[in-house]
Structure 1
Amino acid sequence: MIPILVIDDDYRVASIHAAIVEQVPGFHCVGEAHSAAEARTAIRDFQPELLLLDIHLPDEDGLSLLRTLKATAGRVPDCIVVTAARDLHAVRTAMHLGAVYYLVKPFGVGQLRDQLRAYRRWREQLESSDQADQETVDALYNLLRAPTALNSSPPSQLPPTMAKILDAVSAAAQPVSATQIAQQLGMSRPTAQRYLADLQRRGLVALDLAYGSTGRPVHRYHPAAPDRRRTRP
């Protein structure tokens, strides 16, 4: 279980976010904090691995809190910023301080759930890898982006080549690599890999990292579970 601390000055909002956390498999809310001071105490006492952090706190802004946490010795929790702050300076600062994502309020319950699931997949893949080539790095960054209705299309609306690749992945008896897809469809491996990465971002295929005798991961793709697929509203 991944322990999460919810930090929000609004008691009601914090409670709602904590309840959402408890609904997502693999996560557990260890507590709620409503100020930077409470957050520091809770981080020390509960050792969360992920923060849901609001920027607007009564005693200190959340980014300042994150900055001081980064400056201290010891392991710093990962952080998803959850805030109504929309200025790009805040976004840039959050990225500079290592926030893994930035959710702008108001957002739907499904968005938070999807982002937590994306973070969990990212953690699982990161912990299973001991070395990384560029393909692995790209895959890890892609996993941090939860698929949304805005960047996903139903299979019937995909570009023809992308649709053929999705059909090939769906028809395969087991997960397949970009090399296998390229050979099957008569295209270059980089082209197949580019389309597969886009299908992954859209939530239509899922990625597994398999390890062979060399210790380097082989990227294999299979159809995403039905509840991971998205369509435009």
Structure 2
Amino acid sequence: MTVSATLRTIIVDDDVEVASLHAKFVAVHPAFAVVALAHSGPEALRLIAEHRPDLVLLDFDLPGRTGLEVLRDVRAMGGLQPEVIAVTAARDVESVRQARSAGIQHYLVKPFTALDLTARLDDVARDRLALVRSGERDALAQRDIDALMRTGARNQAQLPKGLSAETLLIVERALESAPNSSAGEIAERAGISRVSVRRYLEYLVAVNRAGKTLDYATAGRPSTRYASIGAA
């Protein structure tokens, strides 16, 4: 795989129509070109080995071999590795943890918007540009190091004891998709206990990534509602 001005991309999704839609999203980005579509795990592995792309949009739920199994095989190939954007309905803690362990930095939960995907594509393009700038130099500029080492400023901060980055991501994504929700409603969406979700929500409030208000419309004691900072 070579790093070029146009980043070669493979779309992997078992749903043919969804794969085609994602391909259209990617095709309109000036930094990317779609070179292949795959609809099963074995087909994805074959096409990645053949094309050695710069980027793979990878679904996890694939026939024949899961997306994470495909990714493990790709890592075992060696050589310059593709960037991977997970595009999956899987939002459980274990899937996110395995994705992080496999080096995935971008995780989009279906359904997502074209703007969500474009933002991830912009990140990948910026990272690959850093590789182009670095070339064969022995020393990198700070901006190149920052881009190559980037895992997202939000995940770099030290979390309080007992909180994990993987679960925090799930809670934050659930909150973004359902603003002005109670801890119980977020817990139901995230598949995590209400007590645990409340700890993560209070952490997000403490670091100014979420706000909370009291809802007096309910009978009895007012309920606490949470929303991501900037959410409507």
The answer to whether the 8 Å contact 1:7/1:52 transfers is yes
Count of aligned positions: 150
The answer to whether the 8 Å contact 1:56/1:83 transfers is yes
Distance 2:31 2:127 in 1: 13
AA in 2 matched with 1:95:
R
CA change 1:140–1:73 in 2 (3 A) is closer
**TM-score, structure 2 normalization:** 0.58
AA in 2 matched with 1:73:
G
Distance 1:78 1:32 in 2: 16
Alignment partner, residue 22 of structure 1 = 27
Q: Deviations over 1:96-139 (max 9, x none)?
A: 11113111111111110111012101221243244357776445
Distance 1:125 1:144 in 2: 16
Q: Secondary structure at the match of 1:102?
A: strand
Alignment partner, residue 124 of structure 2 = 119
* Residue 73 in structure 1 maps to residue 78 in structure 2: yes
AA in 2 matched with 1:108:
T
| One of 103, 107, 110 as aligned partner of 2:108 | 103
Alignment partner, residue 63 of structure 1 = 68
| One of 2, 11, 19 as aligned partner of 1:6 | 11
Alignment partner, residue 44 of structure 1 = 49
Q: Deviations over 1:142-178 (max 9, x none)?
A: 5868xxxx9xxxxxxxxxxxxxxxxxxxxxxxxxxxx
Q: Secondary structure at the match of 1:15?
A: helix
| One of 27, 33, 36 as aligned partner of 1:31 | 36
Distance 1:37 1:43 in 2: 10
Q: Secondary structure at the match of 1:103?
A: strand
* Residue 87 in structure 1 maps to residue 97 in structure 2: no
Distance 1:74 1:14 in 2: 26
Gapped regions of structure 2 (runs ≥ 5): 1-5, 154-171, 173-229
Distance 1:47 1:135 in 2: 26
The answer to whether the 8 Å contact 2:130/2:147 transfers is no
Distance 2:65 2:151 in 1: 31
Q: Secondary structure at the match of 2:118?
A: helix
**TM-score, structure 1 normalization:** 0.57
Alignment partner, residue 191 of structure 1 = none
Alignment of 1:127-206 (within 5 A): 127-129=132-134, 130=137, 131-132=139-140, 137-138=145-146, 140-141=148-149
The answer to whether the 8 Å contact 2:56/2:84 transfers is yes
Shift of 1:41: 1.7
The answer to whether the 8 Å contact 1:8/1:33 transfers is yes
